[in-house]
Structure 1
Amino acid sequence: MKSIKIKSNGSTSGNIRVAFATSDLENIDSHFGSAKQFAVYEISKESTTVCEIIKIDTKDTDLTVELLKGIDIVYFTNIGAIAAAKIINNGIFPIKYKETVSIEEEIKKLTDMLNTNPPPFIKKIIEKKAA
């Protein structure tokens, strides 16, 4: 397993780090356990930056969770119960979509939420980072 760092602005207050299970870097279209890669973005009220692409070479839930440490939210199309428990226990908020969803559209939703009235789970993430 390896991670390819593309660009990083460093974490600042109010930013959230989000990973998307994706096969094409455009859509949330992969099951957590069989994802070959995760696109990681740093999202704030003002900007969105691609931070890294985490490549998954081996199907190993523990190693995948380890690579995702520092991520606030992870999106996927499905996840097993044990894997879900492991990411939650590592402070990562899971979001499951049954159908393929555009990463760009989801980033727009998150940015809109940050700029208006974020739901409680996002407020909690931001408060945790500010502490």
Structure 2
Amino acid sequence: MSFKVAIASSDGENVNQHFGKADHFLIFEIDDGNYKFLESRSIVPSCGGEETIDHTREQTMKLISDVKAVLVSNIGPQPIETLIANNIVPYMTSMNIDDALKELISLKKFKD
């Protein structure tokens, strides 16, 4: 089973950004226990900026609507609810991207 994951990272090496402060997400594809980087998708952070938080969060959800999980260093309760309502699983972690993806692959939820 193949699926995509969005990762909030400021350095491309670690999961180290808050969901609402990320200005881009790194998109990875996981397939049969392996993963590969696909692309970087730029967004307007929902915490700050000129647009309203709700509008910006809606844009973020559209941008990552094809992913099954989002890995972030931190996330608030309302974005968690929004992600879950859109069938996207939020994960908070602060490890390097390789280790975070390996941990995600090991979870039973993503093996089926």
CA RMSD of aligned residues (A): 1.7
Q: Where does residue 122 of structure 1 map in the other structure?
A: 110
What secondary structure does 1:51 align onto?
A: strand
Normalising by the residue count of structure 2, what TM-score does the alignment of the two structures yield? 0.81
Q: Where does residue 40 of structure 1 map in the other structure?
A: 27
Normalising by the residue count of structure 1, what TM-score does the alignment of the two structures yield? 0.71
* Number of aligned residues: 103
Distance 2:76 2:104 in 1: 25
- The answer as to whether partners of 2:21 and 2:45 remain within 8 angstroms in 1 is no
**Alignment gaps of 5+ in structure 1:** 1-13, 127-131
CA shift for structure 1 position 68: 0.6
Structure label with greater radius of gyration? 1
1:69-89 deviation line (CA, Å, top 9, x unaligned): 010010101111111111111
- The answer as to whether partners of 1:36 and 1:57 remain within 8 angstroms in 2 is yes
Distance 1:16 1:35 in 2: 21
- The answer as to whether partners of 1:15 and 1:43 remain within 8 angstroms in 2 is yes
Identity of aligned residues (%): 29
Distance 1:38 1:85 in 2: 19
Distance 1:77 1:85 in 2: 17
Q: Where does residue 63 of structure 2 map in the other structure?
A: 67
- The answer as to whether partners of 1:22 and 1:36 remain within 8 angstroms in 2 is no
CA shift for structure 1 position 57: 3.0
